[in-house]
Amino acid sequence: MSDAYEALTAKLAAADPEIERLIEAEGRRESEKIRLIASENYVSQAVMEATGSILTNKYSEGYAGKRYYEGQQFIDPVEQLAIDRAKALFGAEHANVQPYSGSPANLAVYMAFLNPGDKVLGMGLPAGGHLTHGSKVSATGKWFDAVAYGVRRDTGRIDLDEVAEIARRERPKLIICGGTAIPRTVDFAGFAAIAEEVGAVLMADIAHIAGLVAGGAHPTPVGHADVVTTTTHKTLRGPRGAMILTTEEHAKAIDKAVFPGLQGGPHNHTTAAIAVALREAATEAFKEYAAQIVKNAKALAAGLTARGFDLVSGGTDNHLILADLTSKDIGGKPAAKALDAAGIELNFNSVPFDTRKPFDPSGLRIGTSSVTTRGMTEGDMDLIAGWIDRAVAAAKDGKDAELESIAGEIREHTKAFPIPGWQA
């Protein structure tokens, strides 16, 4: 491990060796595995240090200049830096950097614009939407009248004509675009036209693609959507937090919804880490990184397709690949478990029109953000496609020794790609 890591955990090792050993084991696991979970990444050492800083000691209910606790002389500038950097990076008029995570950020939008029982139109969970887009198992589906749009069976893509038809019929007050398993470019302008026609507020959830938007590798929703929500990890490569971007017209409603509507004091250490991540995301190096994420995803998709995998929509435009394993005669869950044993971390996932249950679905969700952060490029993606193919075949045939063999090959391969904050 690195000297920086040892220095960071020296006190922890003495105070709580059990927790320190588990953290060390996680660091080794993250270093030795190929991590393809689309919602995960590696933060920089700087982001890690801000997250673990003394700012965690301070309570700061309210907003900069309008706090309910004294002693904010240095907290206010930290939050203002995060706000200013978010506005500059995304070209937004207003930014709220206090939401604890993506789901509370989305709930704040509901609170700002809707009353319980109001109608919401979002992408259905089986088609690639998020729980907070109106799923019946979520508060958003229990407290609001949620209707859903999906994707075409023949293309696996959103049909905006269908979305418009549903919107005209249902007249929702809020339309949501974006999701958690969408491998194709989101047409924000098209959604905006529909929302304007029916008089709905448009929310763009870019939690997965925020880093691609910031780096110019995906079109921006700013200027099209009334409000934009995002987590700050995933492709943006920041800490586990969230932001809401909006126009000045809606700034007050959003801020009141976050605090005091849904939350108490912000997590100042996270706010600082968000500010650091946003500064990193404004660099030319980050633009190159965002472009490489997409190149890697396309290369991995091509490698999987060449090996007989069926990909939803036939490929990807961003960081995310959704594979349907029906033709491989194995479920997504056993395949994901076998891949984990083989040193490849991803998640089982429903695919559109899935005939299997959500906890035992047909698909795998794959993302290239983490491996790109490590410095892997297109050639590595073909190797990964080969390992995935071998592991899925081994899982089907019950060949545990083959999984162990693949894991050994991956441990050797990953030695050339150290992760931030850790060096085995």
pLDDT digits over 73-121, tens only? Answer: 999 999 999 999 999 999 999 999 999 999 999 999 999 999 999 999 9
Which residues, other chains included, contact 314 with Cβ-Cβ below 8 Å and sequence gap of 6+? 155, 156, 305
Q: What tokens does 127 get? A: 């088609």
pLDDT at 3: 65
Instruction: Provide φ and ψ at 201, rounded to 5°.
Output: -75, 135
- Upstream peptide bond of 99 is cis (omega within 30 degrees of 0): no
Q: Residue written as tokens 């060949």? A: 399
Which residues, other chains included, contact 42 with Cβ-Cβ below 8 Å and sequence gap of 6+? 30, 237, 370, 373, 374, 419, 420, 421
pLDDT at 11: 86
- To 10 degrees, what angle do helices 102-113 and 248-256 make? 110
pLDDT at 424: 54
Strand partners, 230: 243
- Under a CB-based contact definition with an 8 Å cutoff, are residues 252 and 241 in contact? no
Q: Is 63 helix (H, G, I), strand (E, B) or coil?
A: strand
- Under a CB-based contact definition with an 8 Å cutoff, are residues 231 and 248 in contact? no
250 among the known binding-site residues?
no
pLDDT at 5: 59
pLDDT at 225: 98
Domain boundaries, the chain: 54-281, 292-414
The C-alpha angle with vertex 274 and arms to 130 and 262, in degrees rounded to 5, equals 55
Task: Please check whether the domain covering 292-414 is classified as CATH 3.90.1150.10.
Answer: yes
pLDDT at 423: 67
208 among the known binding-site residues?
no
Spell 223-256 as b/e; 16+ CB within 10 A means b: ebbbbbbbbbbbbbbbbbbbbbbbeeebbebbbe
**160-199 residue pLDDT tens:** 999 999 999 999 999 999 999 999 999 999 999 999 999 9
Instruction: Provide φ and ψ at 265, rounded to 5°.
Output: -70, 145
pLDDT at 1: 60
248 among the known binding-site residues?
yes
CA distance 162 to 153: 12
CATH topology classification for 54-281: Aspartate Aminotransferase; domain 2 (3.40.640)
CA-based nearest residue to 417, from 27, 26, 34: 34
Please give the positions annotated as active site.
59, 61, 205, 231, 234, 240
Which residues, other chains included, contact 397 with Cβ-Cβ below 8 Å and sequence gap of 6+? none
- Under a CB-based contact definition with an 8 Å cutoff, are residues 128 and 353 in contact? no
Flag residues of the chain having pLDDT under 50. none
Q: What is the pTM of this model?
A: 0.95
Q: What tokens does 248 get? A: 């000045």
